[in-house]
Structure 1
Amino acid sequence: MYRFLLLAAALVLVGCGSNDDAAPSAGGSAGASGAGGSSGASGSSGASGSSGAAGDEAIVEAILDGSVSAETGLIDVSHSAGLPVATPEGFLFVRRDDGAGPYSLAGDMNDWQPAAMTQAAGVYWIEVQIADPDGVKYKFVDGQGTFAADPLARRYGWDEFGEFSLVAASAPHRERWSSVSGDGLAPRTVRAWVPTAHPSHHLYVHDGQNLFEPDAPFGGWELDQTVGSDTLVIGIDNGGVARMDEYTHVPDDIGSGPIGGEGDATADFVENAVRPLVEARYGVPDKVGVMGSSLGGLIAFHEVLRYPDRYDFAASLSGTFGWGSIGLHNETLIERFAAAQKPSTLLYLDSGGGPGSGCVDSDQDGILDDTPDAADNYCETVQLRDVLLSAGYENEKTLWHWWEPNAAHNEAAWAARAFRPVQIFEAL
């Protein structure tokens, strides 16, 4: 079993200001919560039955002595207290050997002067004394001298130089779990905006890669700037090309044959994999909400029906509530809510666009989705609103509806009105 060589002489905290001339990383937001406090590793490494940082150190030792693979062990650590690992001697930084080394470590703790890491058993590692880790930023430096954030760091942020990793911090920050899987869904990233150590409200939001990252592929919602200090936002990344399958409750045909219908697996994944992971770290909240846009709004409302007692609030922005009736004649969520016993979950739904020449059901399938010049799921959203009111929901008490005339079906439009459902949720 390896014991780690303490490299304090080479790498000791000398200050918290970075050297912009030495490396392209400085400035930006504060970091994340301190090490520890989360649930233990997932157990697949078999390295330790203990939880938190002590168990994570044992997993890294098992990686270094060859009894656990680097890939498996590092994912286990990232799902536990996270990287870097707090040890009695300092902090243990570990990076998988991807062939681009040799790797070094640079950060606030060594004035951004790269310190060589040790190569062993498929990883590079170094253990460092850091007297005050709160807000300390770091990056790895590859063999070409390129500075880049730790891809498995639990805590991270962004500045003018791009993404940086954080040792620990107490201010609002982002966190991330890589390769979270379950219920038949492919592994994906789950990310969080953490405003405080013990948030009272947990808001699960679909299409997590579009929520608060500056490099969001279609523009971000900037939810980190929208929510208050007591709301933890958990962004669940979609499955990429599998998004349409995962975010729909039944198959439909939009022109290329039947597609979709894996919504139950998505709802189960959130319930069985994501929520336990989050609550192990942050505790059980007072209120839980779920939110999404377009197909993300559809799956959010589907989760309410599949788990009617598990969500206090659900919000859909421009939800695709006509799904099922576009090219096939499968049951829509409009029909499911009409037939279901009224759930206790408070609901918000909205759309932009408008009715065009008027909402009609020309194919007589019961869904008002046949107006060619209607936009942004306006007609289907209004139809679901009316169904919910008929089922006993009360306007502005248990059901909220908003129409933003002519608003587009895109992230910028959803970002502009996300404050509406967020404020309702935070008032609960």
Structure 2
Amino acid sequence: MEAASGGYLFACLCGQGGWTLAGDHNEWAPTPMSQAGSLWWIEEEIAAPDGSLYKSHEPDSMQWIADPYGRRHGYDDFGAYSLVRASAAHLERWYAIEDADLGLVPRDLEVLVPQDGEFTHALYVHDGQNLFDPTAFFGGWQLTTSAPPNMLVVGITNTPARMDEYTQVPDELDGQPVGGDGELYAELVETVIRPRMEAAYGPAEVVGTMGSSLGGLISLAIADFYPDRYDMAISMSGTVGWGSLELHNETILETYEAAGKRDFTIYIDSGGEGSCVDTDQDGIEDDAPDSFDNYCENAQFDAILQSIGYTPEVDLFYVHAPGAMHNEAEWAARVGVPMQIFAGLEIAVPR
């Protein structure tokens, strides 16, 4: 933390060992820390310029760790590092966000803050632990390199209840009921997370929500629940046939068709390919055994959206990447497309 003199006091709840502190301020030459239980600290103030990197080091175990409770941080080839006060673009953590009345599990946020904290667009993105860390599953999305400079990106980490929270209606998988808490999750985003972020960083002129797979589905559901509050919904390989997998509940395709044309912009995509058929005659073309990555359902969704008044390349964007698989590497490869569309979006009415 910053001391009154302008220097910094460093402390870490690092646990047992023989922890030291190293960083840009001492040319990464580890300095011994004092200990009281699991708390380790440097007794004197340290002068460190804006944007200095630091880590704690335990020589015996050869561990190098970022401050586990530090807010400002980033990633490089050696993993996570902590930052003193930073004016350049950087990441910030927020811990255990919840609303006890909603009954949902607390979750963390990882926020990409632009240069000098200045932005016009804010994007709320699901499966937040896959967005920035290059050691995440399949290398993650690495949005620190692809996010436009005018954008605040709020990554909302998922929880063990992901399949329930990211689905707007119940369905079944292998005969077992699952899903249907999407409206509660949408309420958490809209009434808890978004106000917290706006209080900390300021409101954005343009607001969107984005995710992939079930994260894409819940992005569309959030925009449906709060159509006057979001300017764009981005769904990458979205599981838009949810509700019709083994049951016959209303899918997001049918929800949007019934609602009619609304004012927010929509981006949908998928990889995959295959024949598109509706064998069970439930209205959703999701029964072809050779189709994958939700290709048929998203192609059908694109046709539905055009039928209710959305205009391609104006307020509807549909991208098909033939043969692309359903994984983080594929989403990372094409996430720049919807982000650039969103970055160029303008809105005349404050949200």
User: TM-score, normalized by length of structure 1?
Assistant: 0.75
Counterpart contact for 2:25–2:48, Cα < 8 Å? no
Matched residue SS, 1:244 = helix
Structure 2 counterpart of 1:216, from 127, 136, 159: 136
Q: Deviations over 1:153-186 (max 9, x none)?
A: 1111223332211112222222222322233222
Q: 1:285 maps to what in 2?
A: 204
1: CA distance, partners of 2:54 / 2:68? 12
Matched residue SS, 1:185 = coil
2: CA distance, partners of 1:273 / 1:123? 31
Matches within 5 A, 1:17-416: 85-89=1-5, 90-96=7-13, 98=15, 100-120=16-36, 123-126=39-42, 128-142=44-58, 144=60, 146-182=63-99, 183-196=102-115, 197-239=117-159, 241-354=160-273, 356-357=274-275, 359-416=276-333
Q: How many residue pairs align between the two structures?
A: 340
Counterpart contact for 1:245–1:261, Cα < 8 Å? yes
Give the percent of matched residue pairs that are identical in Structure 1 and Structure 2.
Answer: 52
Distance 1:266 1:136, change over 3 A: same
2: CA distance, partners of 1:223 / 1:168? 21
2: CA distance, partners of 1:215 / 1:349? 27
Q: Residue 22 of structure 2 aligns to which amino acid in structure 1? A: A
Q: Deviations over 1:240-277 (max 9, x none)?
A: x3211111111111214011111112111211222122
2: CA distance, partners of 1:208 / 1:260? 20
* Residue 129 of structure 1, CA deviation: 3.0
**RMSD of aligned residue pairs (Cα, Å):** 2.0
Distance 1:153 1:304, change over 3 A: same
Matched residue SS, 2:313 = coil
Matched residue SS, 1:133 = coil
Q: Residue 199 of structure 2 aligns to which amino acid in structure 1? A: A
1: CA distance, partners of 2:9 / 2:192? 27
Q: Residue 52 of structure 2 aligns to which amino acid in structure 1? A: V
2: CA distance, partners of 1:97 / 1:416? 36
1: CA distance, partners of 2:324 / 2:57? 44
Where structure 1 has 5 or more consecutive residues not aligned to the other structure, the ranges are 1-84
* Residue 118 of structure 1, CA deviation: 4.2
Where structure 2 has 5 or more consecutive residues not aligned to the other structure, the ranges are 346-351
Matched residue SS, 1:199 = coil
* Residue 122 of structure 1, CA deviation: 6.0
* Residue 91 of structure 1, CA deviation: 2.3
Q: 1:50 maps to what in 2?
A: none
1: CA distance, partners of 2:31 / 2:176? 56
Distance 1:323 1:201, change over 3 A: same
* Residue 395 of structure 1, CA deviation: 1.6
Q: Residue 112 of structure 1 aligns to which amino acid in structure 2? A: W
Matched residue SS, 1:224 = helix
